[in-house]
Chains A and B, each alone.
Chain A
Amino acid sequence: MSSERRGFLRTWVVSTDHKVVGIQYLVASAAMLFFGGLLALAIRWQLAWPWTEMPIVGGLVLGESGRVLSPAGYTALFTMHGTAMVFFAIIPLLTGAFGNYLVPLLVGAPDMAFPRLNAASFWIFAASIVLFFAGFGVEGGAANSGWTAYPPLATVPAAAPGSGAGQTWWLVAITVLGVSTILNALNAVVTIVKMRAPGLTWMRLPLTAWGLLVAAALQLSALPVLTAAGLLQLADRLLGTAFYTPAGLYVNAVQPDVAAGGSPLLWQHLFWFYSHPAVYVMVLPAMGFVSDILSVNARKPVFGYKPMVAAIGAIAGLGLLVWGHHMFTSGLGFEMGRAFMLSTMLIALPSAVKTFNWIATIWGGRIRLTAAMCFALGFVALFVIGGLSGLWLAATPVDVYLHDTYLVVAHFHYIVFGGTVLAVFAALHHWWPKITGRALSETLGRWHFLGTFVALNCVFLPMHQLGIAGMIRRTADPSVYQLFDRLEPLNRFVTWSAFGLMGWQLLFVANVVWSFLGGVRVGRNPWEAASLEWETPSPPAHGNFDSDLVIERGPYEYGDAAGERDFAPQARRTAPREA
């Protein structure tokens, strides 16, 4: 059935087509990315000009509080920024939007293994977004004990205004989201394991598919732990259990009326048991996109395909064993600190191997500096910076000093923004013609890249210095300490750059609008790429492939050995299928 005849609702809202579900995820998580970005600007405003009236949006957002942020408001701000970005923007962008859209196409399948479950996972995700926003409206305001939600701050309502109803809504939202993510991950794993086109062996799978597969497997192994941990925290709040709240507390000089006898460090272990692997969920698919895009645009095969796959596997395996490095100063003990230091050092190795393989991939290539390629190269450059600063943090004595300072903030933003967000832009530029049938403007795209690249370094590079100078994270006003007073120029510079970075994203919006209005219509394979998704019409109809495929080779046959052209498609299209 063609989409014209099915109407808007059936095509775009209640569809079970994996591509529609992917686009739904894309729209929702891009909106959350934008929302998280706005919160970030408010955070930066406060750090550059503490306790001053926020212009323009101040009255709107802060209302009766006189346009000036309150200390409690600040804590809610960064809590919801982190939560929105990690759980509702980055992870769903990768596994939800691109995962859903690409997985069946990359493996030559007509849809996900369980299309209805797939649609359900999106709608559960949508419900969790509603729950997330509901938390802002309750008494005491949104959750405000950080995206890490450490008890007893998070579990004792008297300890923080947001630890009342706000924290309960936060936990419910995260738990519901967890259910959606588990279902989605299950779908991805089953699809890749069971529905690969005949002849598409494991060693012929594009690295994007490997990244998405392993990220989904990580979700399946670690996310149930966070979900269970969240349910226990909910039980502590609602049922009077005491898993995390220790005995003998005096909050504001009174004994809080909560059951006690639990262990706060238990939460930290369970939280990071998931949330460390989650940082790899936020980067493995991105690494896959980048590998593919570099190879297509360098007109050369991915260098060291097998080591790349092995590195993905090693990152995932080790990724389950390094969570304690977030707890070096928590009092987890001397031996445990040593063990987690060793595993953390090891996990830097596969990341380095991947970096060298990316460089070797473009080495001697015939590089086309498309917008997608620019973003992919940007990913490599900035991921390296984030990975290298990880070395400081992995060395326990140095981490003792740097933990909970802005150096940690610099570290993970280089990876998550400099890395993952740039990879998402690369992927958008690369697969946009497939998704919409129209091209994005290459010129606008390159300008967008240029400004984004410069501005984001201006935002995140100085955060290293802030952290090295000792400035702690989650502070609402660094000028409280003489030590941090001299950092004011840096803080202001970062804030100005952040406004520039955010404003520059308008170019991307303009590009999207331009593409819908006047973007060139493209054929099946505008980039002359070899992998399977390019065998479909752009955009592919429900059911994806319009002919049977015979898979003949791996996904990266570019260059002089490829045959008549400089690439050899992975599959030969045979008899056209019945429409």
Chain B
Amino acid sequence: MRHCALLLVLGLLCGVLAFFALSPGRGWWLPDAASTIAQPIDALFDGIGLVILLGFVLVMALLAWAVWRGARARTDRARSTHGHTGLELTWTAGVGAILVGIALAQLPTWARLRDPAEMPASGVTARVIAHQWAWRFEHPGADGVLGTADDVETASELVLPAGESVLLELRSRDVIHSFFVPELRVKQDVVPGRAIPLWFTMARAGEFELVCAELCGLGHYVMAGRVRALPRADYDAWLAARIIDARSRGAEDAR
């Protein structure tokens, strides 16, 4: 029976390792990164992943060995050890040091993500308005300020300039939603009654799926959108075309 037990623990060990080793090749892993913040986040993910891997292998190996040795048929008794202060201190200090290391290592990235001091000073690029179960976006028009008549409004697709920091203002009209773009590694809940800032820099042009990550009712699963990153010149052209559109629409309304 101890063979069985050993097999089970080793099976778990190998199964887990093999499954994790196979997953990236099949696309069951972090999606391709597309923002500058993704680099340190993925590095943290990998670094902590390494700690997890080592911790897991260590514990499983110890467990397997202890069970294998301990379950042999023997008639003599075990030693009645009640503990060992040195050992306790060693593993407490060892694990503590690793945890402090992880805590310190992630501080700069958290600051880049959320420290108000890191907020781009260039003003809001777009306002995101979430409601059950769709996304709307407002860009400041020619006057550069939001909330004026020449704002450019779009639905489901958020167009943004790539290669520079953008600042979004997240608002919800009804319940809590969450602005999640897996390839950008950003996620921020959109809380009704608040305007929450979110900033990031897209490293390349492209189209990225926008996912609502917070349960927002029965249509939560279909609350999909898109982020389209354009080079600055294309973005300016896109915005200019929309501003003209908005003006002519305004002129028509006036008539």
Which A positions have Cβ atoms within 8 angstroms of B?
A: 70-72, 74-75, 144-146, 150, 152-153, 156, 159-161, 246-252, 263-265, 298-307, 329-331, 333-334, 337-338, 341-342, 345-346, 348-349, 352-353, 355-357, 359-360, 362-369, 374, 377, 380-381, 384-385, 388-389, 391-392, 394-398, 400-401, 403-405, 446, 450, 453-454, 457, 461-462, 464-466, 468-470, 472, 474-478, 480-483, 486-487, 490, 556-562, 566
The answer to whether residues A453 and B114 also contact, given A150-B176, A341-B103, A557-B80 and a CB cut-off of 8 A, is no
Query: Which residues of A sit under 8 angstroms from B92, Cβ to Cβ?
Result: 307, 349, 353
Bound Cα distance A356, B93 (Å):
13
Residue B191 interfacial (CB < 8 Å): yes
Contact: B82 with A301, CB < 8 Å?
yes
Residue-by-residue, is B57-68 near A (CB-CB < 8 Å gives 1, otherwise 0)? 001101100110
A299 to chain B, nearest CB (A): 5
**B27 and chain A: residue at smallest CB distance:** A486
Which of B5, B26, B55, B106 makes the CB contact (< 8 A) with A369? B5
CB neighbors of A among B40-92 (8 A)? 40-41, 44-45, 48-49, 51-52, 55-56, 59-60, 62-63, 66-67, 69-71, 74, 76-84, 87-88, 91-92
Contact: A353 with B55, CB < 8 Å?
no
Bound Cα distance A369, B69 (Å):
12
A415 to chain B, nearest CB (A): 15
Bound Cα distance A369, B5 (Å):
8
**A565 and chain B: residue at smallest CB distance:** B77
Contact: A353 with B95, CB < 8 Å?
yes
Query: Which residues of B sit under 8 angstroms from A472, Cβ to Cβ?
Result: 180, 211-213
A74 to chain B, nearest CB (A): 8
23 A-B pairs (CB sep. < 8 Å): A75-B217, A160-B218, A246-B194, A250-B131, A264-B176, A305-B82, A307-B92, A330-B189, A337-B114, A367-B67, A396-B106, A396-B113, A397-B44, A401-B45, A404-B180, A450-B8, A457-B16, A465-B20, A476-B220, A480-B221, A480-B222, A481-B224, A559-B78
Contact: A366 with B176, CB < 8 Å?
no
Contact: A160 with B194, CB < 8 Å?
no
The answer to whether residues A342 and B192 also contact, given A352-B95, A481-B211, A559-B77 and a CB cut-off of 8 A, is no
Bound Cα distance A364, B74 (Å):
11
Query: Could you say which of B51, B176, B219 has the most chain A C-beta atoms within 10 Å of its C-beta?
Result: B176
Residue-by-residue, is B169-195 near A (CB-CB < 8 Å gives 1, otherwise 0)? 000011110101011011111011110
Contact: B116 with A334, CB < 8 Å?
yes
Query: Which residues of B sit under 8 angstroms from A400, Cβ to Cβ?
Result: 41, 113, 185-188
Query: Which residues of B sit under 8 angstroms from A300, Cβ to Cβ?
Result: 78-81
Contact: A144 with B218, CB < 8 Å?
yes
CB neighbors of A among B204-254 (8 A)? 209, 211-222, 224
Bound Cα distance A9, B176 (Å):
50
Contact: B31 with A152, CB < 8 Å?
no
Bound Cα distance A364, B81 (Å):
10
Query: Which residues of B sit under 8 angstroms from A160, Cβ to Cβ?
Result: 217-218
Contact: A75 with B31, CB < 8 Å?
no
The interface size bin for chain B is 35 or more
Query: Which residues of B sit under 8 angstroms from A388, Cβ to Cβ?
Result: 51-52, 55-56
Residue B115 interfacial (CB < 8 Å): yes
Query: Which residues of B sit under 8 angstroms from A345, Cβ to Cβ?
Result: 99-100, 102-103
Contact: B67 with A362, CB < 8 Å?
yes
Contact: A461 with B79, CB < 8 Å?
no
Contact: B78 with A457, CB < 8 Å?
no
Bound Cα distance A83, B205 (Å):
43
Given contacts A265-B191, A362-B67, A404-B180, 6 further A-B contacts (CB under 8 A): A250-B173, A331-B189, A369-B1, A396-B113, A398-B106, A472-B211
Which of B71, B186, B187 makes the CB contact (< 8 A) with A367? B71
Contact: B103 with A252, CB < 8 Å?
no
Residue B109 interfacial (CB < 8 Å): yes
Which of A301, A380, A483 makes the CB contact (< 8 A) with B182? A483
Query: Which residues of A sit under 8 angstroms from B67, Cβ to Cβ?
Result: 362, 367, 369, 377
Query: Could you say which of A367, A389, A450, A558 has the most chain B C-beta atoms within 10 Å of its C-beta?
Result: A367
Query: Which residues of A sit under 8 angstroms from B69, Cβ to Cβ?
Result: 364
Query: Which residues of B sit under 8 angstroms from A560, Cβ to Cβ?
Result: 76-80
Query: Which residues of A sit under 8 angstroms from B12, Cβ to Cβ?
Result: 381, 453, 457
Bound Cα distance A558, B70 (Å):
14
Contact: A366 with B77, CB < 8 Å?
yes
Contact: A306 with B99, CB < 8 Å?
no
Bound Cα distance A574, B213 (Å):
64
Which of A298, A357, A397 makes the CB contact (< 8 A) with B109? A397
Query: Which residues of B sit under 8 angstroms from A362, Cβ to Cβ?
Result: 66-67, 70
